């Protein structure tokens, strides 16, 4: 299969190159940018001698003709425009931005502060949470790759939500992310000297991933109306941890819940459930496509603590995008994604 990548100069695009360059079935046909045409290794010297393709202009027709799939690693709003230009051109599209994720068009103005793409596109886009929407993804032409935070939160919540084991109004997600999620554009807030030795909370109750999480949760359990969701910046490059608190409807112990999680994710190569008393840390998934989950039900408070970790650039972006491409092409789901976490 031939892939085109648009937006390789951000970290998500760079990660797509890292994965696809070693993918057994998908090759990188072309890479595109709205900026200068130059070898990508000038932007990313670590690719010197490995991948020296030249970035070229975005010519939609040509891309649609030559490639089988296009990955949009472009920012929200830019992605939306590009999707419109690729729509119905016979090329599969995976969009890593949020522009195709929400079914409720009005939510875009409220949370993204810009206009949504057209309704036909929103309707056709499939939400690519690989472990839960596999059937739909298999037939998708237009795929909304999930956000980094929603991926961690939803994989952590899915088993108890779909089984309706928790009070629907009790969901609190305290999420923490490494800095690479903020992208590669210069800004004072993401300078080294500002974030190093620091820990910040941001967009309190205003993050655009809130409606994405709520949309999926309410599909799983109609009683869920809203969640409390906080985002923090950890001074690391990669990694997300979602620490999730829910009130259990009945007294369930940790072991029983771990069994439920293990059964649920049995056969899914990228979700690993830890054993009783053990919790995953973000470094244990660094550079890999895993989502690791740990649980503890507290009989004192009746609450369940769910810990879910991913690499935000992998399972939270490029890794899940390739996992979805694999599913869309009928390939083995883990093709090209078998890298072992880089530890330490």
The minimum distance between CB 343 and a second copy, in angstroms, equals 4
Of 173, 301, 267, nearest to 226 by C-alpha is: 173
The minimum distance between CB 107 and a second copy, in angstroms, equals 13
The minimum distance between CB 63 and a second copy, in angstroms, equals 24
List the one residue from 139, 196, 250, 266 that touches a second copy (CB under 8 A).
Answer: 196
Residues 217, 172 contacting (CB under 8 angstroms): no
Interface with a second copy, residue 276, by CB under 8 A: no
Q: Any idea what DSSP says for residue 175?
A: E
Tell me the three-class secondary structure of 269-317, residue by residue. Answer: CCEEECCCCCCCCHHHHCCCCCEEEEEEEECCCCEEEEEEEECCCHHHH
- Angle (CA) 221 225 226, round 5°: 115
User: Is the dihedral angle over the CA atoms 104, 71, 234, 218 positive or is it negative?
Assistant: positive
Interface with a second copy, residue 252, by CB under 8 A: no
Interface with a second copy, residue 329, by CB under 8 A: no
Residues 275, 293 contacting (CB under 8 angstroms): no
Interface with a second copy, residue 7, by CB under 8 A: no
List the one residue from 1, 21, 78, 215 that touches a second copy (CB under 8 A).
Answer: 21
The minimum distance between CB 12 and a second copy, in angstroms, equals 11
Select the span of 89-97, 100-108, 121-129, 196-204 touching a second copy (CB under 8 A).
196-204
End-to-end CA distance of the chain: 34
Cα–Cα distances in angstroms (integers) from residue 48 to residues 31, 38, 45, 54, 55, in the given order: 16, 13, 5, 12, 14
The minimum distance between CB 262 and a second copy, in angstroms, equals 11
Interface with a second copy, residue 267, by CB under 8 A: no
The minimum distance between CB 342 and a second copy, in angstroms, equals 5
Of 58, 142, 148, 317, catalytic: 148
Q: Which is nearer to a second copy, 124 or 284 (CB)?
A: 284
Interface with a second copy, residue 23, by CB under 8 A: no
**Chain centroid offset of residue 36 CA:** 28
Region 35-54 residues binding a second copy, contact defined as CB under 8 A: 44-51
Q: Using CB atoms within 10 A of its CB, is residue 247 exposed (0-12), middle (13-18) or buried (19+)?
A: middle
CB atoms within 10 A of CB 287: 19
Interface with a second copy, residue 123, by CB under 8 A: no
- Angle (CA) 300 306 309, round 5°: 150
Select the span of 125-133, 144-152, 296-304, 326-334 touching a second copy (CB under 8 A).
296-304
List the one residue from 90, 187, 267, 330 that touches a second copy (CB under 8 A).
Answer: 187
Interface with a second copy, residue 272, by CB under 8 A: yes
List the one residue from 59, 65, 301, 332 that touches a second copy (CB under 8 A).
Answer: 301
Interface with a second copy, residue 195, by CB under 8 A: yes
Region 167-186 residues binding a second copy, contact defined as CB under 8 A: 172, 174, 176, 179-180, 182, 184-186
List the one residue from 105, 296, 334, 335 that touches a second copy (CB under 8 A).
Answer: 296
Residue 148 annotated as catalytic: yes
Interface with a second copy, residue 257, by CB under 8 A: no
Interface with a second copy, residue 279, by CB under 8 A: yes
**Rounded to the nearest 10 degrees, how much is the dihedral formed by the CA atoms of 162, 295, 265, 159?**
0
- Residues sharing a CB contact under 8 Å with residue 72, sequence separation 6 or more, in sequence order: 6, 7, 79, 82, 83, 93, 94, 95, 96, 97
Region 208-247 residues binding a second copy, contact defined as CB under 8 A: 226-228, 230, 232, 234-239, 241, 243, 245
Q: Using CB atoms within 10 A of its CB, is residue 262 exposed (0-12), middle (13-18) or buried (19+)?
A: middle
Total residues binding a second copy (CB under 8 A):
83
Q: Which residues are catalytic?
A: 148
């Amino acid at each position: 299969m031939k892939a085109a990548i648009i937006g390789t100069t951000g970290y998500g695009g760079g990660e797509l190159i890292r994965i696809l360059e070693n993918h057994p079935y998908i090759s990188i046909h072309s890479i595109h940018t709205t900026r200068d045409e130059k070898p990508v290794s000038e932007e990313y010297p670590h690719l010197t001698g490995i991948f020296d393709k030249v970035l070229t202009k975005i010519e939609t027709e040509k891309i649609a003709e030559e490639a089988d799939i296009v990955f949009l690693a472009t920012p929200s709003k830019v992605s939306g425009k590009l999707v419109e230009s690729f729509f119905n051109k016979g090329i599969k599209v995976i969009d890593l931005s949020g522009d195709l994720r929400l079914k409720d068009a009005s939510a875009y103005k409220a949370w993204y502060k810009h206009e949504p793409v057209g309704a036909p596109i929103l309707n056709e886009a499939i939400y690519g949470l690989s472990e839960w929407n596999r059937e739909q993804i298999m037939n998708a032409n237009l795929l909304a790759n999930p956000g980094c935070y929603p991926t961690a939160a939803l994989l952590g919540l899915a088993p108890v939500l779909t089984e309706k084991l928790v009070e629907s109004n009790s969901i609190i997600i305290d999420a923490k992310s490494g800095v690479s999620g903020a992208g590669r554009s210069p800004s004072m807030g993401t300078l080294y000297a500002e974030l190093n030795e620091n820990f910040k909370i941001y967009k309190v109750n205003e993050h655009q991933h809130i409606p994405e999480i709520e949309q999926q949760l309410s599909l799983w359990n109609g009683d869920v109306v809203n969640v409390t969701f906080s985002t923090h910046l950890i001074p690391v490059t990669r990694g997300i941890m979602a620490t999730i608190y829910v009130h259990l409807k009945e007294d369930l112990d940790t072991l029983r819940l771990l069994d439920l999680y293990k059964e649920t994710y049995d056969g899914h190569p990228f979700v690993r459930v830890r054993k009783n008393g053990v919790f995953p840390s973000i470094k244990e998934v660094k550079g890999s496509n895993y989502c690791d989950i740990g649980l503890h039900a507290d009989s004192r408070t009746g609450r369940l603590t769910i810990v879910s970790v991913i690499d935000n650039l992998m399972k939270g972006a490029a890794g899940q995008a390739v996992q979805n491409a694999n599913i869309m092409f009928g390939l083995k789901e883990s093709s090209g994604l078998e890298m072992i976490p880089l530890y330490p």
